[in-house]
Structure 1
């Protein structure tokens, strides 16, 4: 009996060892069927290359057999090792990632994440230094990042780059520290020498065989600095530059994992509807999110300027107007704390001199929350944050609009780490201006309602082409505070189309949709005012209906059972054909369009999947709302 038990134990141990060896082999060896390929069902295919002569790693991306990225350089250089050449591949492990999460703001409320991940382990033949490359593929993208041991030293730069097919088209914005520049169209190879924002869109192929690639980054924290693109005219390759070239300071006490370099890819609808940069980011660090409520806001800067920010009575008038529209917020911009006689911070009771608590009380009685603008320089130290944030929370302020960071350095992202944790702790919604762009931060810190990072409504340099490019570039990456609705501005590029301006309130997603018109400008356009009163505070689903970068964009966003549609067009007047791909059945669609007599609301009964015809003026657009039709229904 003991011999039988002993034999059984030996056999079980042998079987366990065999199974363990088998699992390890599958994880560490290079499977014959995949080699250095990373792919999953229905995903693009990423191919990690390694030049046998130089030991230089590359990454290529294909989709359905078509080239999205040619073999593109990989690598990172530290003060102790050049990990871009002379490498050997020593192992590989694979795993599947399946996650589900919800968001307060964004293009879709509920998200499902399915990715295949492969981790490649490299070693320098010259120094023995180690480098891990992690590659993820999803239905809508390919991403990679590096992991280095603590002994690697400070990072001097990356050799990471993206090489496009020679005939690719590009839509790029010249880089500036607040990401506020126009997007323009180029040939990818012919684009001028220069630096470009890390949100470059590329098209390869044409017609039904066209693929798009939007280059971005995700999961960026104070352990690193933001990157942007560099290009030399005549080359199909776009390199990576870290902020201003300053070395990344590492602690030396743990491994360094870099941000994801992401390529959102697919057809234009897949790219536009993608949540890939959020999907790559860490899960929410805010446990109780019940206080996080997105919504529309009457933003008073373009409506009244600094004078409005200095006047309690004017602000009360804005609260009354927002309350009548059922808009949940107003935003008090610059001016409210810049009176030296009012703000003597050496006075222990300096906070009591503000009229903001009175405005908060007034708004609360009318169902309107108050957000306040504040300069970054007043929150850039722990002492200042401890002075301001608990005070604003005590007053009952709902959110802060923080402005003028004007940097994407490692030190600035360390500040982002601190201010994000602090605003969450004090239950303050956040809108960053003069800032970086989302980079996945809205998943990790869901109190972040929006970022500027866009050449928005305040600017006088916008073009119709820029308006028609933003839905395919900047707004793909997360909420964008363009601040639409400024009907009173004569210098807007769609100045001849109030319907086009109205459509931007749907087309451009923002957790806080700051409506920038004057109350009188809404009252003068009752059709627009009624539409804005119907506009939801958040979206459940987003679909691209039509468009092409720089030419036009039409998106539908669902809230409950209703769809809202916004469209913008660059160029001549036309009758636009919009595929109504919002579901089967019959829909009542109320369009808002321009006529010589002003805005007109027109009902249409349309079958799902059919084409909706909409008259659009030159450099104009339209807005619409759609609901299920039944006999006798005349409005949504």
Structure 2
């Protein structure tokens, strides 16, 4: 037992001697290479995390800079740039959560959901996303969670803050685009009714733009958007300085009031090829599930909108409105929309009379329309629904009369206080079984999934505008209408000289533009003068089983196909010179009877042909023109797609 001991002592002594020599060598080496090591440490790559749904789907790369503690997010697709590294961060009264962050932990989960919508590009939806939650803290202990979701058609992120940090003072969030990226932007307006114009990311003028901005890079197309915006936060817009590709997120409020913890809206990037972007339901998929348990009373449909059809003058009387109801009933249009003026002083009643609502002709009109199978939608100003007392007076009254929906106008604000009003009126219209069409409004930021009674929202430079261009009309399917139903009110055939397109293009808009309440803006006389367009409108539904982009280029052409049952409705709009358009009939295998309406030498003309699925449909298009059509399965004996 005494023999091993000396060996152990000698072994330890040798080890200590070797360690001392190594230490001396390391010290000498460190002294000689200290500057190089410091340089390597300074250049040390940041912490990075990636989130993607599948190999060829868009992927997010989140980075934490080890020097500044600042976060950034970049998006790529198939190895190509979509969004360059862009800053993340949020500023609160009690914490700066845009820098000085250190990583704590990561949590991943899969999101797999199914839901059925009441309107939109398709009724049945499947959601597959991968979600990563990254937790960070500052040196002072302030916490920030960054939640990132990745789907086949987009990337989104949001911030989660615990309670105790006070009001939000702003975000450092931004989107960095390659300077030469194509850009289709709408100058910001509180009613979101700006016209879209084309630039590059860097050449767009200095100013503020709507957050529904479309960009084209070598990674495809990307549409910026928001989802799940409620009264807990403030609406956003994009601020840009000419000469850069940076678009900063600016909030409508300089201070966002916060009680307790906060989860911000999603900042969404819908990305892919143009067909993927156009057909995306990403902003709906990000939103919370429906808060309306029984949706059986919510029925999308087409409507005769009487404002541009004559409602500005003689339309606000019982007799005139009954005539419009008669026309809607004759053409099986399920709704008639009575616009501004019906509840102000007219020759039918006097609102100075305390019993004026009892004396109103609206209940008579509703009864008259009901007997003919037509529902009534009424316009009402937001200022008449902005207090609890007014809502308690109006909404039950309209429900009792049997009104089917309300078209609420002139919110004209993206402030937190207005979104708190939206939260209230959405719950109350659902409780009173009133469908809703918002005008002078915010954008549909996922609202139609959570509150399916919202059939449509304006938030667009629409039919009433006299400054629209054909290029603007061909951009809307790739921008505004991507993110939710759009009440453009197409079909204003009588507005010759006030609209930039042809009659066939105007008919095509009723398909190219999706709206759960598709309000036709024409006069009965204008429809009767164009029987081909009128008969086409008679066929149209307002809820779709599927949507596909057949051909498109923002600002130049947009051809969409929307399916209802076995029939595909086609709508094409173009900007530019007359030409023969070539459109792939990508609606499925088999043989199809295709009936199209185009501009002829003496007015509208109709053509019929039988094509195989995937064949090219060729159609003559006039300058700034378009077409409308229906495709249905063909077999011997089938001569028309009309019912």
Q: What is the TM-score with the length of structure 2 in the denominator?
A: 0.91
Task: Quote the offset at 1:634 in angstroms.
Answer: 1.5
Would you say 1:392 and 2:398 are equivalent positions? yes
Q: Single out whichever of 35-44 and 384-393 deviates more from structure 2.
A: 35-44
Matches within 5 A, 1:83-102: 83-102=97-116
Would you say 1:294 and 2:303 are equivalent positions? no
Q: 2:444 aligns with which of 438, 445, 452?
A: 438
Mapped to 2, the partners of 1:230 and 1:136 lie a distance apart of: 24
- Match for residue 420 of structure 1? 426
Local SS of the residue matching 2:595: strand
Would you say 1:108 and 2:118 are equivalent positions? no
- Match for residue 596 of structure 1? 601
Matches within 5 A, 1:160-309: 160-205=173-218, 211-243=220-252, 245-251=253-259, 254-309=260-315
1:580-605 CA-to-partner distances (Å, cap 9, x unmatched) read 10001111000100011111111011
Query: Structure 2: where are the runs of 5+ without partners?
Result: 1-46
- Match for residue 30 of structure 2? none
- Match for residue 325 of structure 1? 331
1:222-254 CA-to-partner distances (Å, cap 9, x unmatched) read 0001101110001111000101x4200011xx3
The answer to whether the Cα contact below 8 Å between 1:457 and 1:492 also exists between their aligned partners in 2 is: no
The answer to whether the Cα contact below 8 Å between 1:301 and 1:308 also exists between their aligned partners in 2 is: no
Matches within 5 A, 1:55-74: 55-74=69-88
- Match for residue 460 of structure 1? 466
Matches within 5 A, 1:212-611: 212-243=221-252, 245-251=253-259, 254-339=260-345, 342-344=349-351, 347=354, 349-495=355-501, 497-611=502-616
Local SS of the residue matching 1:152: coil
Mapped to 2, the partners of 1:134 and 1:491 lie a distance apart of: 50
1:420-456 CA-to-partner distances (Å, cap 9, x unmatched) read 0000000000000000010000000000000000000
Mapped to 1, the partners of 2:328 and 2:199 lie a distance apart of: 43
The answer to whether the Cα contact below 8 Å between 2:571 and 2:628 also exists between their aligned partners in 1 is: yes
Task: Quote the offset at 1:344 in angstroms.
Answer: 3.8
Mapped to 2, the partners of 1:109 and 1:343 lie a distance apart of: 44
Local SS of the residue matching 1:468: helix
Task: Quote the offset at 1:569 in angstroms.
Answer: 0.4
Mapped to 2, the partners of 1:615 and 1:279 lie a distance apart of: 38
Mapped to 1, the partners of 2:625 and 2:438 lie a distance apart of: 29
Q: What is the TM-score with the length of structure 1 in the denominator?
A: 0.92
Task: Quote the offset at 1:298 in angstroms.
Answer: 0.1
- Match for residue 9 of structure 2? none
The answer to whether the Cα contact below 8 Å between 1:494 and 1:501 also exists between their aligned partners in 2 is: no
Mapped to 2, the partners of 1:61 and 1:238 lie a distance apart of: 15
- Match for residue 91 of structure 2? 77
Q: 1:343 to 1:123 in 2, by over 3 A?
A: farther
Task: Quote the offset at 1:190 in angstroms.
Answer: 1.2
Local SS of the residue matching 1:469: helix
Task: Quote the offset at 1:633 in angstroms.
Answer: 1.7
Would you say 1:117 and 2:125 are equivalent positions? no
Q: 1:301 to 1:565 in 2, by over 3 A?
A: same
Would you say 1:149 and 2:162 are equivalent positions? yes
Local SS of the residue matching 2:53: coil
Task: Quote the offset at 1:343 in angstroms.
Answer: 4.9
The answer to whether the Cα contact below 8 Å between 2:48 and 2:64 also exists between their aligned partners in 1 is: no
Mapped to 2, the partners of 1:609 and 1:422 lie a distance apart of: 47
Task: Quote the offset at 1:308 in angstroms.
Answer: 4.0
Q: Alignment RMSD, CA only?
A: 1.2
Local SS of the residue matching 1:150: coil
Mapped to 2, the partners of 1:427 and 1:110 lie a distance apart of: 23
Q: 1:52 aligns with which of 41, 63, 66?
A: 66
- Match for residue 11 of structure 2? none
Mapped to 1, the partners of 2:434 and 2:160 lie a distance apart of: 34
- Match for residue 20 of structure 2? none
Local SS of the residue matching 2:510: helix
Local SS of the residue matching 2:430: helix
- Match for residue 23 of structure 1? none
Task: Quote the offset at 1:43 in angstroms.
Answer: 2.3
Task: Quote the offset at 1:340 in angstroms.
Answer: 7.6
Query: Structure 1: where are the runs of 5+ without partners?
Result: 1-33
The answer to whether the Cα contact below 8 Å between 1:337 and 1:343 also exists between their aligned partners in 2 is: no
Mapped to 2, the partners of 1:621 and 1:138 lie a distance apart of: 34
Local SS of the residue matching 1:359: helix
1:444-485 CA-to-partner distances (Å, cap 9, x unmatched) read 000000000000000000000000000000000000000000
Mapped to 1, the partners of 2:362 and 2:369 lie a distance apart of: 10
Task: Quote the offset at 1:538 in angstroms.
Answer: 1.2
